[in-house]
Structure 1
Amino acid sequence: MDLIPAPLHFLATDGEPFLLDPGTTLRGGPGTEGVQHWLRAALGAATGLPLGPGEPGVLGARGIELALDADSAAEGYRLEATAERVLISAGGEAGLFWGAQTLRQLLGPDAFRRAPLRRDGWSVPAVVVEDAPRFGWRGVLLDVSRHFLPKADVLRYLDLLAAHKLNVLHLHLTDDQGWRIEIKRYPKLTGTGGWRERSMVGYRSGGVRDERPHGGYYTQDDLREIVAYAADRQITVVPEVDVPGHAQAAIAAYPELGNQDVVDTEALRTWTDWGVNPNVLNVEESTLRFYENVLEEVLEIFPSTFVHLGGDECPKEQWKASAAAQNRIKELDLADEDELQSWFLRHFDTWLAERGRRLIGWDEILEGGLAPGAAVSSWRGYSAGVAAARAGHDVVMCPEQHVYLDHRQAGGPDEPVPVGWVRSLEDVYRFEPVPPALRQDPVAAAHVIGTQANLWTEFMEQARDVDYRAFPRLAAFAEVAWSRLPEQPADRDWDGFEARMRAHYPRLDALGVEYRQPEGPKPWQRRPGVAGRPIEGLPPEV
């Protein structure tokens, strides 16, 4: 068995394999049409076979059948392959789709290609697979603000997520270094905030700039296409609009958003550095109205229940120096600047809830008091997520010490722009989203709704750089998020996973992924002379 992620149950039977030929049909009952369409397109492209629906009312044709089973979980599925048919049944369309992804793996690496290398010899071994995911949120953050990825690259990444049964794309659309979503009411957000004059190359200690303009943004129709493409692959796109920090691109476009009594916001430009920026939003009513108007357009594009509003790395120095901010604290009878940020986010928590949505933010939103309906992305370690879960808030575990995939994959000198801790393929495979502090508290543990790997792109200038950082580690993460692994990371079958990866690398090759080879980077994947920021030793458990 070489499936990734590993299924709950896998049984190889003694029967003959199912053979695909020009007469093989693909059919299903009501509610299966979307998966039929995807599977026919994917397998048809790879095999060159028509996989037609067969003649109506004619039974007994050899084929692939999809069926909905009301007694099954929505994302669970059962796949049974015999010499006569492959039957995939599930409680919902999502489960059928994940079963279809398993079928593609069973057909071999060439089933992941976009044009046929052969038109015969296709077979599915006689097996029974029963499967369901561990977590409902199996996410990947893609940072398109620091380095913009064209729409085609985002669509490709949705295919890669789907192939690994990952079901959330967290799209980081705004930051100091670029605003990437068209807002029709405020065109300067992309006209001015959508590009920067130059970029820092590597970490700041190197002192290198490329002196090349960088920019780009998605039109609203681009994003509707991305959302629809994702939905066809059972993936939810969660947008992130970062407030009140990481906002210099917005302030550069509309200076009245900044703390004008402290800094000359008219002189600000879209930021060209990486790191934590002191320029944050002011807390005036006009700024709240501005972002309400922005979010009205965001909600029209993205139907996701959750909307990510950042809330991280918001320095309070400007608020401390601002007479307007201090007056706001007194007017609202708040304790300090931390509570001022909490008030800001609570406003949008209520605003989103009134529209049937939910706020999710980075774990700094706990500081000063957490908004009643908010969920937490626990990134600085486990502790904030533990506190939020115990307080009854939903949590997505994404600790930087384990699943920040911009961190280096090995300790050698050849790793490109080496930042952070060494997080090898095995390290990611041994990541456990539910920490010991929650395992003895099932009520709190149930608030861990999922886990997420984050791809921050300060050091990834193009899609092939993202490939190198993401893979193969994203395959290990996918198994952590999907499979019922032993709770103790030390008990996980690393040798078995490593053996299955030997079958998975050819799938990544067929998909055109420029992953990090087990033996190290290829010469063109290195970045000699570009400064990083390696952190020595093992990451702390925070």
Structure 2
Amino acid sequence: MTGKMSGLVPIPLVEELQEGELVLDSGVSVTADAAMRAEAEWLAVVLRESTGWTVPLVDSQDALVRFEADEDRGSESYRLEITQEGIIIAAGGPAGALYAAQSLRQLLGPTAYRRARVGALDPLPLGVIEDEPRFRWRGLMLDVARHFMPKNSVFRVIDAMALHKLNTLHLHLTDDQGWRVEIQRYPRLTEVGSWRTQSHMGAVEQAVFDTAPHGGFYTQDDIREIVAYAGRLHITVVPEIDVPGHVQALLAAYPEHSVHGEQLPVRVRSGLNDNVLRADEDTVRMVCEVFDEVMELFPGRWIGIGGDEVPRVQWERDPHSQSRANELGLPDASSLYGWLLQQFAAHISSAGRVPVAWDEILEIDVPDDVLVMSWRGYDGGVEALWQGRDVVMSPNTVLYFDTFQSDGPDEPLPIGDLISLPQVYAFEVLPPGTPPELEEHVLGAQANVWTELLETQRRVDFNMFPRVCALAEALWSPREKRDYDDFEARLRRSHLPRLAALGIEYRPLDGPHPWQSRPGFANWVGDLSEDRPHQAYPEEWPDAVEQTHPGAAVIPSDPRFTTPSEFALTAEES
């Protein structure tokens, strides 16, 4: 023992290691206060699977594992105490109880992640853990539009999120390349929009196509099942229907809602696309009716409306759109972008939900309640904070997981640039110098897993892990507790074996396995030409405050944020 509780990820707030250990045997039983019986049952189930023991859930204080409510704690806070007499979990709510059970499972070692008995559980160290999260929104965005992920793969991602105490799954359900959710009022969205004739395999500029049809979608019952499964693990699912751009799959199904009314295919190539929604009342009604069905399926507070990467050129060149802008009293046709987003945001707000939009929405007169997803670095988040808006940080310079993980020659083809594990670990949610009165508006952060070139679960695993482990610690653990060298040691010693037992095909710390390396087809190197070198952040930001960890991304400074960052981590970039 080193004074810590055996390699937990994310690292807890407080760990007090004591002498001795507790060995679980076939006589283990579990009891819980009424509010935490579901979490106690979850622990009993995973123990039954991995050991073959009966592990009953009993109404007796003589049970070895006891879940107790502690009203003095926050809902996600817990205390885990392990003694020779047993295990006591005191939690402020069901979520805290589950997080305590997750920590206990980690302490039991890789065997606890098996679906059948293959060996003994690790002895438990005696001691106490006191723990709670630093941020409320600890998220992961999964793009199931570019490459569809079957329902069981989504369950697998949810399980991995719960292991790392992440609590928000953002599903990117629609894009130019596919529509993935059944809408009963508009069946052609999935009949036509859910599949494409082929997919590109290389760089956007020099694409090589696989000539294989790709498709799939979730029925409404599938969605209800996913939402319920995630809810049992205290994960909120946030749907995103991306409008008014990234809509070619919608337009392929219902071409009357395109600017020119022309029949389009579901798009096979990624990248920016000029095709956008027609700015008329029929289109607004159709999209709002889609959102109505989506809100019935997803009961959570937040509903994503997209708003990113929307070219204005079709509106600007189209006579009907120009006339429409004039009717609405807009200064020009490009302002139809803002008008459409305002209609969709208002519709969602009127249903008692909160619209979520990418940071381009700050270019318009933003409705007061919109949650801003800051993806183009920190700038959008900083601006939203000064407007008094809630923000989730998701900078593409640090938290885009479709990128290289090293500059080695055997990394698989990415869509973006280099974001290494140390860079993710060094990520700091709050922009340097954030005034204390604005910190409450930073709900947290999320990483985005875009899947243009991640066509299988194996590829998604490789790009997500172990970077998700670093993300989890950045969002859960106190800043002063984080140390990269210690984190990497915990990964090697304890946590990567857990992921392997769970069946996650992570990227090894020392580089990809041969079967995980880059593909060998012509023209794949287009994104890494001399004209577009890969880098961790845009060079054109002239004024920046750099975190002192050498792997950290550069954060653009803001004259209103005057306190320099003192955040330092002890590691060299790998």
TM over 0.5: yes
Aligned equivalents of 2:295, 2:382: Cα separation in 1: 30
The CA deviation string for residues 106-137 of structure 1, in whole angstroms up to 9 with x for no partner, is 1111111111113x555321110000001110
Aligned to 1:39: 43
Aligned equivalents of 2:152, 2:416: Cα separation in 1: 29
Aligned to 1:361: 357
Supply the AA of the counterpart residue of 1:374: V
| TM alignment of 1:310-329, pairs within 5 A | 310-329=306-325
Deviation (angstroms), 1:17: 2.2
The CA deviation string for residues 305-342 of structure 1, in whole angstroms up to 9 with x for no partner, is 00011000010000101222222222222233454222
Are 2:107 and 2:122, in contact at CA under 8 Å, matched by a contact in 1?
A: no
Matched, 1:529 2:520: yes
Relative to structure 1, the CA distance from residue 121 to residue 347 in structure 2 (aligned partners, 3 Å threshold; closer, same or farther) is closer
Relative to structure 1, the CA distance from residue 341 to residue 121 in structure 2 (aligned partners, 3 Å threshold; closer, same or farther) is closer
Deviation (angstroms), 1:206: 3.1
Aligned equivalents of 2:72, 2:194: Cα separation in 1: 49
Secondary structure (helix, strand or coil) at the match of 2:372 reads strand
Deviation (angstroms), 1:421: 2.3
Aligned to 2:484: 494
Supply the AA of the counterpart residue of 2:9: I
Relative to structure 1, the CA distance from residue 392 to residue 339 in structure 2 (aligned partners, 3 Å threshold; closer, same or farther) is farther
Aligned equivalents of 1:274, 1:349: Cα separation in 2: 26
Secondary structure (helix, strand or coil) at the match of 2:357 reads strand
Aligned equivalents of 1:408, 1:445: Cα separation in 2: 31
Matched, 1:463 2:457: yes
Aligned equivalents of 1:413, 1:451: Cα separation in 2: 31
Aligned to 2:110: 109
Aligned equivalents of 2:276, 2:487: Cα separation in 1: 45
Secondary structure (helix, strand or coil) at the match of 1:39 reads helix
| TM alignment of 1:252-401, pairs within 5 A | 252-260=252-260, 265-266=262-263, 268-337=264-333, 339-401=335-397
Deviation (angstroms), 1:510: 0.5
Are 1:339 and 1:367, in contact at CA under 8 Å, matched by a contact in 2?
A: no
Deviation (angstroms), 1:36: 1.6
Aligned equivalents of 1:342, 1:64: Cα separation in 2: 55
Aligned equivalents of 1:104, 1:335: Cα separation in 2: 59
Unaligned runs of 5+ in 2: 539-554, 557-574
Match of 2:9 among 4, 9, 31: 4
Aligned equivalents of 1:337, 1:124: Cα separation in 2: 65
Are 2:82 and 2:88, in contact at CA under 8 Å, matched by a contact in 1?
A: yes
Relative to structure 1, the CA distance from residue 537 to residue 143 in structure 2 (aligned partners, 3 Å threshold; closer, same or farther) is closer
Aligned equivalents of 1:148, 1:31: Cα separation in 2: 36
Deviation (angstroms), 1:492: 4.6
Aligned equivalents of 2:115, 2:57: Cα separation in 1: 21
Aligned to 1:482: 476
Equivalenced residue count is 527
Aligned equivalents of 1:396, 1:465: Cα separation in 2: 26
Aligned equivalents of 2:272, 2:339: Cα separation in 1: 22
Are 1:139 and 1:166, in contact at CA under 8 Å, matched by a contact in 2?
A: yes
| TM alignment of 1:126-137, pairs within 5 A | 126-137=126-137
Aligned to 1:421: 417
Are 2:305 and 2:345, in contact at CA under 8 Å, matched by a contact in 1?
A: no
Aligned equivalents of 2:303, 2:403: Cα separation in 1: 26
Aligned to 1:402: 398
Deviation (angstroms), 1:472: 0.7
Supply the AA of the counterpart residue of 2:74: A
Aligned to 1:473: 467
Aligned equivalents of 1:234, 1:537: Cα separation in 2: 36
Supply the AA of the counterpart residue of 2:504: V
Are 1:340 and 1:368, in contact at CA under 8 Å, matched by a contact in 2?
A: no
Are 2:201 and 2:209, in contact at CA under 8 Å, matched by a contact in 1?
A: yes
Matched, 1:233 2:227: no
Aligned equivalents of 2:433, 2:287: Cα separation in 1: 37
Are 1:76 and 1:90, in contact at CA under 8 Å, matched by a contact in 2?
A: yes
Supply the AA of the counterpart residue of 1:505: L
Are 1:373 and 1:393, in contact at CA under 8 Å, matched by a contact in 2?
A: yes
Secondary structure (helix, strand or coil) at the match of 2:170 reads strand
TM-score normalised by structure 1 residue count: 0.95
Match of 2:438 among 441, 444, 450: 444
Secondary structure (helix, strand or coil) at the match of 2:392 reads strand
| TM alignment of 1:82-231, pairs within 5 A | 82-118=83-119, 120=120, 122-231=122-231
Relative to structure 1, the CA distance from residue 82 to residue 375 in structure 2 (aligned partners, 3 Å threshold; closer, same or farther) is same
Relative to structure 1, the CA distance from residue 436 to residue 338 in structure 2 (aligned partners, 3 Å threshold; closer, same or farther) is farther
The CA deviation string for residues 473-514 of structure 1, in whole angstroms up to 9 with x for no partner, is 11001100111114xxxx951111111111111001101111
The CA deviation string for residues 148-169 of structure 1, in whole angstroms up to 9 with x for no partner, is 0110100011000000000111
Secondary structure (helix, strand or coil) at the match of 2:87 reads strand
Aligned equivalents of 1:53, 1:470: Cα separation in 2: 35
Secondary structure (helix, strand or coil) at the match of 1:288 reads helix
Secondary structure (helix, strand or coil) at the match of 1:403 reads coil
The answer to which of 365-374 and 504-513 deviates more is 365-374
Aligned equivalents of 1:106, 1:122: Cα separation in 2: 7
Secondary structure (helix, strand or coil) at the match of 2:205 reads helix
Deviation (angstroms), 1:62: 4.6
The CA deviation string for residues 160-205 of structure 1, in whole angstroms up to 9 with x for no partner, is 0000000111000000000000001111000000000111112133
TM-score normalised by structure 2 residue count: 0.89
Secondary structure (helix, strand or coil) at the match of 1:12 reads strand
Supply the AA of the counterpart residue of 1:442: P
Are 1:349 and 1:372, in contact at CA under 8 Å, matched by a contact in 2?
A: no
Aligned equivalents of 1:65, 1:122: Cα separation in 2: 20
Are 1:62 and 1:84, in contact at CA under 8 Å, matched by a contact in 2?
A: no
Are 1:18 and 1:86, in contact at CA under 8 Å, matched by a contact in 2?
A: no
Matched, 1:29 2:33: yes
Are 1:4 and 1:164, in contact at CA under 8 Å, matched by a contact in 2?
A: yes
The answer to which of 18-27 and 509-518 deviates more is 18-27
Relative to structure 1, the CA distance from residue 338 to residue 449 in structure 2 (aligned partners, 3 Å threshold; closer, same or farther) is farther
Deviation (angstroms), 1:416: 0.7
RMSD: 1.5
The CA deviation string for residues 505-528 of structure 1, in whole angstroms up to 9 with x for no partner, is 100110111111112111111233
Are 1:249 and 1:270, in contact at CA under 8 Å, matched by a contact in 2?
A: yes
Secondary structure (helix, strand or coil) at the match of 1:449 reads strand
Deviation (angstroms), 1:418: 3.5
Deviation (angstroms), 1:13: 1.6
Aligned equivalents of 2:111, 2:54: Cα separation in 1: 17
Secondary structure (helix, strand or coil) at the match of 1:206 reads coil
Aligned equivalents of 1:419, 1:251: Cα separation in 2: 25
